Each structure stands twice: as C-alpha cells, then as structure tokens.
Copies of this chain bind each other. A is one copy, B any other.
C-alpha cells in the first residue's frame, strides 16, 4: 500500500505518535486521527488530518489504523472496547500497534482481529522521540508475512530499519530483547560512573579511556555525559522503561526463563518510581546510587 491517497488512521498523538502521523500526512496519506486529549491533535489537524470523536468512528473510515498509546491497558481499551477498533473496523482493516506492549496481548489482538475478519500486526519501535521526528525509527514487526508486505511502504515512511521478526507477538518480544540489553548497558554504565567517582577519578576522563573499546555502547556514549552534566530530562521516561521491564519479566517468567539481570533492573527502576522520579529520563537511576538509595 503506497502512502499517497491511502486512508490511514492514527490513534495516539503524543511525543511519538505526533511526529509519526505528521510523516504520513507529508507522504500524501489521507489521515484520520483520534487521541484522548484533542489538543494533541491540533498540529496534525492543521496539516490536514480528519478528527474523529471515537476510535470506532475512525476505524470505519480507514484501510489501515496505527496505534501509539501508553500502556497495555490503553491498548486493551482502544482495541477491545465497545467503541474500539476491532468491534467497529470494516472487513479487512489492518491494525498496526506501534505501542510497546505485552506479547500475549499482541497475540490476543491478532486472534480477535482474525475472528472479526480484520488483520493485526504488532510493530513496536525504538529510537525515541528523535527517531520519531527524523523518521529513523527501528520497527520490529510480528504478524503475517502478507500483512507486513502490504503495510511495509508505510512503515518505511516512519522508520529506517523495518524487519518482520516472526508471527504475532514477535515484534513485542524483539522490543523486550532490546530493553533487556539496554537495562544491562545502562546499569553497567551508571555503576561504573559511581565507582569511578568513589575512587576519586575524573569520570569524564574515564569515559575517554573506556568508550572506544570493548566496553563501548550507545548508553555509555550518549547517556553518561548527560548524567555527569546533571541532566535527567527524559529522552525516554523511567516510568515507561519500568513498564517495559515488567512486561519482559512477566514474559520471561511465563516462559520459565530466569533472567537475574532483568530482575535486578526491574527492582532498581521500581525504586526509581517509588522515589518519585518516574517522570525523569532512564539515566536518573544514577541519582539513586548517589543518594545511597540502592
């Protein structure tokens, strides 16, 4: 499906969904939008998007609907509510959930969509608000190959690395794998900075020694300078990372796979939230170490 002229719905227009919807309009799509807070739709409506009062109303007008909401419970509501997408979509409607959400929920949506004569893909993204704005997201997709092929040109409007990972739920599982890696990279980087400072080293000089070798990582190079500048503004919200870690941990437990590093990270970010720091960026974990709260 080419974006030009396609009737595309977009539900959820926050820091991620907003710019993604904007790219689809720029690519020539006829865009239909719904979001809980209508104010967030202002700029895309000005750019030509059509506003709907309910997901149901939107679903009836579209061939493809993207969703980018907050938590699994929001996904449930949008997909399974009486005013939701599955109950109201036309036959053949293709639903694409780009929210990072539960793999088992993605499979339930896939099944329910099929039973209703619709289709569904899970397609969570990584790359943050910057990736959304620059259309450089990585998009990890789960679902049927032919559905993926149909929507792939649209996904390539939104992201750079677009890969079908397997059947329904596989996109979410891949995103969980991504978050597990980040948990290790971020926590290790933070503990090294805390160690370096306790040892009386200059942590910036330490970064010069360790960043280019076998300790190198994106988290080290991009996040630790922010930490050392005292910049804890959210690139990615700690509370959302905690949500992801909990989904990953639930999945791992359901699969009977013990992952002690993931367990540790979930415990640490639970502390972050308990300390009232969930609205800051993931790098704020550093403050808990410095404040002796670990």
Contact = CB atoms under 8 A, between A and B. Distances in A.
Interface of A: 103, 126-128, 131, 138, 140, 161, 163, 165-166, 169-170, 173-174, 176-189, 191-196, 198-202, 205-206, 208-210, 212-220, 222, 236, 248, 251-252, 255-262, 264, 268, 289, 294
A125 to B, nearest CB: 10
B163 A177 contact: no
Contact of A177 (B165, B206, B248): B206
B218 A294 contact: no
Contacts of A182: 188, 214-215
Nearest to A263: B264
A255 to B, nearest CB: 4
Query: Among the interface residues A165, A174, A177, A186, which one has the most CB atoms of the partner chain B within 10 A?
Result: A177
Contact of A185 (B184, B201, B212, B222): B184
Given A215-B178, A260-B294, A205 B165 contact: yes
A188 B140 contact: no
11 contacts: A127-B213, A166-B201, A178-B210, A179-B215, A181-B192, A181-B220, A185-B215, A194-B257, A194-B259, A258-B294, A260-B268
Nearest to A259: B191
Given A131-B213, A195-B259, 8 more contacts: A126-B214, A181-B217, A187-B261, A191-B261, A194-B257, A195-B251, A195-B255, A199-B251
B177 A201 contact: yes
Most chain B CB within a 10 A radius of its CB, from A131, A214, A218: A214
A251 B191 CA distance: 13
Contacts of A140: 209
A196 B222 contact: no
A228 to B, nearest CB: 13
Contacts of A201: 165-166, 170, 173-174, 177
B213 A138 contact: yes
Contacts of A183: 188
Contacts of A177: 192-193, 195-196, 199, 201, 206, 210
Contacts of A202: 165-166
B208 A257 contact: no
